[in-house]
């Protein structure tokens, strides 16, 4: 797995911006000029759809919040693997140089 040295900051900010934009659009999704049964029916369905969309957006936000910690864990694992590899390589070289290999 390749790890981006700059981290996911740019794409994450963009994704968070899109989520915020969607929330704003959902907040403004109304048709006050619609009256009567059709308007009431539209608003009832719209409110249900908006509530479901907010649930999905909350889950997306939670997933986006996990990305930096996942990236950090990957970097730590890679660093530990590199340290372990360099140690074992040094031992192998020392053994080869001393004739114990």
Model confidence at 98, pLDDT cuts 50, 70, 90, reads low
17 or 93, which is more confident?
17
Percentage of residues in the chain having pLDDT higher than 90: 0
pLDDT at 2 over 80: no
Task: Output the pLDDT for position 10.
Answer: 67
Task: Output the pLDDT for position 91.
Answer: 67
Model confidence at 5, pLDDT cuts 50, 70, 90, reads very low
Per-residue pLDDT tens for 27-62?
777 777 878 888 888 888 888 888 888 888 888 888
| CB neighbour burial string for 11-35, b if at least 16 within 10 angstroms, e if fewer | eeeebeeebeeebeebeeeeeeeee
SS3 content of the chain, % helix, strand, coil (to 5): 80, 0, 20
């Amino acid at each position: 797995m390749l790890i981006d040295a700059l981290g996911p900051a740019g794409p994450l900010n963009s994704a968070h911006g899109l989520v915020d934009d969607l929330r704003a659009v959902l907040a403004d999704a109304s048709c006050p000029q619609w009256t009567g049964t059709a308007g009431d029916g539209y608003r009832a369905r719209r409110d249900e759809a908006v509530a479901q969309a907010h649930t999905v957006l909350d889950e997306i936000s939670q997933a986006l919040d996990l990305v930096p910690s996942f990236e950090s864990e990957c970097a730590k694992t890679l660093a530990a693997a590199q340290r372990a590899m360099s140690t074992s390589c040094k031992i192998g070289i020392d053994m080869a140089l001393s004739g114990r290999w």
